[in-house]
Amino acid sequence: MPTITEKIISAHLIEGEMKRGEPIAIHIDQTLTQDATGTMAYLQLEAMGVEQVKTELSISYVDHNTLQSGFENADDHKYLQTVAMKHGIRFSRPGNGICHQVHLERFAIPGKTLLGSDSHTPTAGGMGALAIGAGGLDVACAMAGRAFHLNMPHIINVKLHGALTKGVSSKDIILKVLQLLSVKGGVGSVIEYSGDGVASLSIPQRATITNMGAELGATTSVFPSDEVTKDFLKKQQREEDWVEIVADEDAVYDKVIEIDLTTLEPMIAMPHSPDNVLPISEVLGLKVDQVAIGSCTNSSYRDMMSVANILQGKTIDENVSLVISPGSRQVLNMIAQNGGLSAMISAGARILESTCGPCIGMGQSPITNALSLRTFNRNFYGRSGTLSAKVCLVSPETAAASALAGYIVDPRTIDYTIPNDPETFAIDDSMVIVPDAQTAAETEVIRGPNIKPLPINTPLDDVIDKKVMIKVEDNITTDHIAPAGAKVLPYRSNIEKISEFIFMNVKASFHDDCLQHGGGYIVAGANYGQGSSREHAALAPMYLGIKAVIAKSFARIHRANLINFGILPLTFVNEKDYDTIDEMDELKIEHLSDLQVDVPLQVQNITKGYYFEVAHHLTALDIETIKAGGTLNLIRQHQ
């Protein structure tokens, strides 16, 4: 009676019992990093003194920040390449593609565990892998051969029936799930797909769905590994990687949702949250200023060919800027060879590199007050780089059709040819550099001036008596905390510099206030730290002296990052206490050297003269980690 999730976890279980919600530890087979989180992960790996990684496969991708308008990014890329060669990690060069697209094509294996320092690592769940996003330090620990700790997830079953109709895509399926479950609906859960509709979806279509499971807050999402998976692997010339993995007939789920693909209509996520979803029919005719197609959600060969077929022989509206980033060099090569690329260029599209590009705010910020239609997975406030822009998330079909019209149209109403899946994929792994174990020891790790030493926290004090540096509302994302974009990303390996940007679009004085008061507390609403896995959102506040975050609730990866860097993640026992606290209130927590599992803490609001209770939900290992001042200190203590 096991589910797919239980089958994979049970094959990798190192500690704990598979009781839902209880702490477990699992073995990790594969890891991936990308450049925005990778430099920290490898600095941490070096700090652990690991010579060669212990995983079956570890890959360092460069896809987020490939602009080279100064020396910083080039320095980072060279550091990533040389540190990879020294420690037994493959290096996917800039231009080879977006980490999740390339991993799906060339490296993801059904039944394996994959830990990635990117929140959309669950993309590989489309292949039947248990693929989890985490902070860079957790990934560094996995590369060092340490177990990954998590709570045994609940399992939500999404049953798909029938088949998609022309103009409706797998993006519309996941937008429908987001409408049903919300950005908090997957917290603590794996979303497992089943039903007769699964067989009608290709692997890239399934991967679009598991990719955006991250937006549900889910631990991961997973599809069965079936004949479709086998066929995809065969076309990628790695049929030997296939194993069948399906849930047992009588598998037990915590919740079941049914979706009829045959009657599903195109959907759209309106600003500024991926769960603000409407049927496209409710917004038809809205004027569009920019259309951006690509990202790890929608940049497969099939997505690109759907777009090319819609654009074929036509010209985009004169008031629309259309940018397209194919997801990988494989995809770009294939559409270059079959004429798809030419159809896009002829229609007026601007073709970008096979990288994250506008998804991470690296260029292509839209015009002031723009309506920007994107095939990406996130439309958080400010992420496009234009604060006044309204970003909506749609399928490639809706995006391309609307780029032609200049306003939002229903792609079911236009005439185009649905692309066939290719007979074979164009295989060329020459942009993935494989380390040589013979020469690894002599490899020099090149550190340009942009690679700064890793800041390390101090052990937890018995008393935290400090002021509230900032109070924020519900659903604060890691983009609010540590913004991305071309001005910030070059400093991802320079925490002192990146700390100047923390909360810059929320409270401009946050950095200076922290310096003036020696840090303090962050007070937050529900789902604090949702979104990207970037650990800079924990590491830079730690550097600025933040000791504890008191929130109504936390997003999983960010909470783990806080613990990894020795910051206390506390939750209000009575959420009404949130309302009574103001910025710059002085809060005091005592007796922290006695911190114990399941024992709540008393917080004294010294400014207002009252006490309130907070919970911490920390495991014994979490408490040991926080007391040590973070995971790296703990590892050093044990060495």
Which residues make up the interface to ligand F3S (CB under 6 A)?
A: 64, 98-100, 118, 120, 295-296, 356, 359-360, 377
Residue 501 Cβ, how far from ligand F3S at the closest point, in Å? Answer: 17
Active-site entry in 93, 106, 534, 616: 534
- The residue (of 328 and 333) whose beta carbon lies closer to ligand F3S is 328
Residue 355 Cβ, how far from ligand F3S at the closest point, in Å? Answer: 8
Of 195, 207, 211, 202, give the one whose Cα is nearest residue 234.
202
Residue 28 Cβ, how far from ligand F3S at the closest point, in Å? Answer: 19
Residue type, 16: G
- The residue (of 292 and 470) whose beta carbon lies closer to ligand F3S is 292
Residue 557 Cβ, how far from ligand F3S at the closest point, in Å? Answer: 13
- Cβ contact 114:28 at 8 Å: yes
Q: How many CA atoms does the CB half-sphere of 259 hold within 13 Å?
A: 24
DSSP string, 309-351: HHHTT----TT-EEEE--SBHHHHHHHHHHSHHHHHHHHTPEE
Is 378 designated active site? yes
Residue 489 Cβ, how far from ligand F3S at the closest point, in Å? Answer: 10
Of 300, 358, 356, give the one whose Cα is nearest residue 118.
356
- The residue (of 58 and 101) whose beta carbon lies closer to ligand F3S is 101
Report the distance separating Cα 66 and Cα 47, nearest Å: 26
Q: Which residues of 64-97 are buried (b: 16+ CB within 10 A; e: fewer)?
A: bbbbeeeebbbbbbbbbbbbbbbbbbbbbbbebb
- The residue (of 378 and 467) whose beta carbon lies closer to ligand F3S is 378
- The residue (of 261 and 393) whose beta carbon lies closer to ligand F3S is 393
- Within 10 A of 187 (CB to CB), how many other CB atoms are there? 20
Residue 478 Cβ, how far from ligand F3S at the closest point, in Å? Answer: 12
Q: How is residue 559 written in tokens?
A: 């909470």
Return contacts of 452-456, CB within 8 angstroms, 24+ apart: 452/493, 452/494, 452/495, 452/496, 452/497, 453/43, 454/40, 454/43, 454/44, 454/47, 454/495, 454/632, 455/495, 455/496, 455/539, 455/542, 455/543, 456/629, 456/630, 456/632, 456/633
Residue 98 Cβ, how far from ligand F3S at the closest point, in Å? Answer: 5
Of 143, 42, 58, give the one whose Cα is nearest residue 107.
58
Active-site entry in 92, 119, 354, 532: 532
Residues 6 or more apart whose Cβ sits within 8 Å of residue 288: 317, 320, 371, 372, 373, 402, 403, 405, 406, 407, 408
Report the distance separating Cα 429 and Cα 316, nearest Å: 34
- The residue (of 290 and 605) whose beta carbon lies closer to ligand F3S is 290
Question: Alpha-carbon Rg of the chain, whole angstroms?
Answer: 23
Residue 216 Cβ, how far from ligand F3S at the closest point, in Å? Answer: 14
Residues 6 or more apart whose Cβ sits within 8 Å of residue 317: 288, 403, 404, 405, 406
- The residue (of 98 and 156) whose beta carbon lies closer to ligand F3S is 98
Of 233, 11, 272, give the one whose Cα is nearest residue 126.
233
Is 63 designated active site? yes
Active-site entry in 64, 272, 302, 480: 64
Residue 415 Cβ, how far from ligand F3S at the closest point, in Å? Answer: 30
Q: How far is CA 393 from the centre of its chain?
A: 16
Length of the chain: 639
- Within 10 A of 429 (CB to CB), how many other CB atoms are there? 16
Is 579 designated active site? no
- The residue (of 295 and 633) whose beta carbon lies closer to ligand F3S is 295
Burial (CB count within 10 angstroms: exposed 0-12, middle 13-18, buried 19+), residue 177 = buried
Strand residues in 472-609 grouped as ranges (E): 520-524, 546-551, 568-572, 586-589, 601-605
Residue 30 Cβ, how far from ligand F3S at the closest point, in Å? Answer: 16
- Cβ contact 115:31 at 8 Å: yes
Q: How is residue 167 written in tokens?
A: 């103009």
Q: How is residue 136 written in tokens?
A: 């860079």
- Within 10 A of 258 (CB to CB), how many other CB atoms are there? 11
- The residue (of 360 and 522) whose beta carbon lies closer to ligand F3S is 360
Q: How is residue 340 written in tokens?
A: 């798809």
Residue 336 Cβ, how far from ligand F3S at the closest point, in Å? Answer: 21
Active-site entry in 63, 172, 513, 577: 63
Active-site entry in 378, 480, 511, 536: 378
Report the distance separating Cα 513 and Cα 504, nearest Å: 12
- The residue (of 327 and 541) whose beta carbon lies closer to ligand F3S is 327
- The residue (of 376 and 528) whose beta carbon lies closer to ligand F3S is 376
Active-site entry in 29, 35, 118, 289: 118
Active-site positions?
A: 63-64, 118, 378, 532, 534
